[in-house]
Every structure is written in C-alpha cells, then in structure tokens.
Amino acid sequence: MKKSQWDKRVERAARLAERFAYAREVLTFYGDVLKLQQNIFDEIVLQGPPAEEQFLEQSWLHDASPHLTGLLSLVEQRGPATLAEQASALRGQSAPEQAAMLQSALRGEVTGHSFFARALLQPYAEWFAVNAAAIVCQGDSFVCPTCKSRPQAAVLRPEGDGGKRFLLCSLCLTEWGFRRILCPVCGEENHRQLPRYTAEDVDSVRVEACDACHFYLKSVDMTVDGLAVPLVDEVATVPLDLWAGEHGYKKIVPNLLGF
C-alpha cells in the first residue's frame, strides 16, 4: 500500500527525533500534531472532493472546530510551555470567542493563537490544493499560486544533472517553481547579496538569506538527501534558525511551531 504524504511526515519526524537529540522534544511533539492533522485530512477525504472552487478559510475553520478540543488537550499535555499556556487560555474562552481568536490569527493579526489556526486549517488547505485545477504560475510568483500565502521553505529537487528550486507554501503546502538566484521577498538577483549558510551536521538543509531585505528561508536539498521530507526537515533544523536570527535575518514565515 502506498504511503500517504502524512504517513511520510509522521515517520520522518520520528526518524529525525532519533537522529537529532537537540530537536527530539520538538519533533516528538510535532509528530503528534502531524498525526492529529492526518486524522483531520483522512476525515475530509471521506467527504469527497471540495464542492467549491474558492479557497474558503472561514468555512473550513468552522468545519474543523470539533477538532479544537483534541488539539488543545494535545498541546496542554505534550506541547512546549508557551503553547500549553496559550492552549489553556483558549480553552477557557467561549466557542464564539475561540472562533473569533482563530479567525483573527488567520488574518495575520497578532493574537498568540496562529499555531492553532494553522494546525487546524492546513489539512483543509492541502486537500483543496490537491484537488484544485492545475494552476499555471506565470514567472516567479512570490506567493503561492493556489492560496496566495508566503513560502515556508525552499526545496531543491533533482532535475537532469542538477536540481530545480521550488518554494513550499506555508499553508496549503503547494510547491511551485522558482529561480535559484532570486530573493522571494524583494526580488534581489545579485548572487553576492544572496548568501547561503550550512551547518556541519546537516548538509542537506541550508539558510538562504538576502542581504538586501534581510529576510531568509531554509532550503531542503533533495539532491543531497533523497529521503528528506521538506516540511519536517525544515522544523528539525532549529539551530539554523537561531543562527540566522543572531545574524540579523528575519524568517519570511515562521514554521508551524513558531521557529
């Protein structure tokens, strides 16, 4: 039986938790979140293809609301202290207040609850992206051609004698082609302004920064590690995020766990 993308993500999180002691706690928790998201995704699949052609964040959040209690319990029991405190605060709110807070997080407002909104919405967004009609991306789009969100990471996939660069959407997890020497924030094309940094123990993941706008994202090189799962490997390499922050770079979009 062919493994689903969610199965691969869960298994990769477990493998990397064994490999990287410094990220074991984070990855173990992330693996639990992935399992919950997989359950949501499987439930959506049983309902059949999306009936609407629009990206319907608000209605999906309403549909996902029954899963909020389970997510809150998971975070309170196994999540980092900060997230656990947010979960407890969110549990103490009424259902309308919870919905309002999550909707504010979706709009990008600083509510402290963006983790919960994204965790609930990602399975719906990915199901929409999987079923969406093929979208032709004209040129190098700085946002996802499916849902217009910013990229979470870059992915270098084998092509010919080298690799082709893609960007990975932070919400619906769509990948779209993007030039290798181009900043996805400000459009800088001078390679001298686009430094790359790697860590000795993780040569398949690197920081791709821009000295023009001082933003960065991490790139997962599948030509180096063909077993990598970009969404998970990006979360596993927290030291690269810490290094980038110490050197004055800001991440385009923090990952689901806030790094």
pLDDT tens-digit series, residues 188-207? 999 999 999 998 888 999 99
pLDDT of residue 1 exceeding 50: no
Q: What does the pLDDT read at residue 104?
A: 74
DSSP β-ladder status, 151-159 and 215-221: parallel
pLDDT of residue 2 exceeding 60: no
Output the CA torsion sign for 141, 123, 99, 32: negative
For 166-189, what is the mean pLDDT?
95
Annotated domain spans of the chain: 5-131, 151-251
For 90-105, what is the mean pLDDT?
82
> In this structure, what DSSP letter does residue 75 have?
H
pLDDT of residue 11 exceeding 90: yes
| Model pLDDT for residues 63-84, shown as the tens digit of each residue | 888 899 999 999 999 999 999 9
To 10 degrees, the CA torsion angle through 101, 143, 252, 106? 0
Split at pLDDT 50, 70, 90, the class of 178 is: very high
Can you read off the two tokens belonging to residue 148? 């217009």
Q: How many helices (H) and strands (E) does the chain have?
A: 9, 7
Can you read off the two tokens belonging to residue 80? 């980092």
User: Environment class of residue 3 by beta-carbon count within 10 Å: exposed (0-12), middle (13-18) or buried (19+)?
Assistant: exposed
Q: What does the pLDDT read at residue 130?
A: 87
Strands (E), 70-161: 151-159
Q: What does the pLDDT read at residue 15?
A: 97
CA distance linking residue 73 with residue 54, whole number of Å: 32
pLDDT of residue 235 exceeding 50: yes
What does the mean pLDDT of the chain come to? Answer: 89
CA distance linking residue 143 with residue 255, whole number of Å: 16
Q: For the chain, give the percent of residues with pLDDT over 90.
A: 67
pLDDT of residue 93 exceeding 80: yes
| Model pLDDT for residues 125-152, shown as the tens digit of each residue | 899 888 876 566 666 899 999 888 999 9
Q: What does the pLDDT read at residue 109?
A: 59
- Closest by CA to 235, choosing from 215, 205, 209, 212, is 205
Q: What does the pLDDT read at residue 126?
A: 92
Q: What does the pLDDT read at residue 100?
A: 81
> In this structure, what DSSP letter does residue 252 have?
S
Q: How many Cα atoms within 13 Å fall on the side-chain side of residue 187? A: 5
pLDDT of residue 110 exceeding 80: no
Lowest mean pLDDT among 8-17, 48-57, 59-68: 48-57
CA distance linking residue 65 with residue 12, whole number of Å: 28
pTM: 0.92
Split at pLDDT 50, 70, 90, the class of 186 is: very high
- Residue 157, beta-bridge partner list: 164
Ramachandran class of 74: left when φ > 0, alpha when ψ lies in -120 to 50, beta otherwise: alpha
CA distance linking residue 106 with residue 109, whole number of Å: 7
pLDDT of residue 113 exceeding 80: no
Residues 6 or more apart whose CB falls under 8 angstroms from that of 46 comprise none
pLDDT of residue 160 exceeding 80: yes
Find the angle CA(35)-CA(36)-CA(41) to the nearest 5 degrees: 95
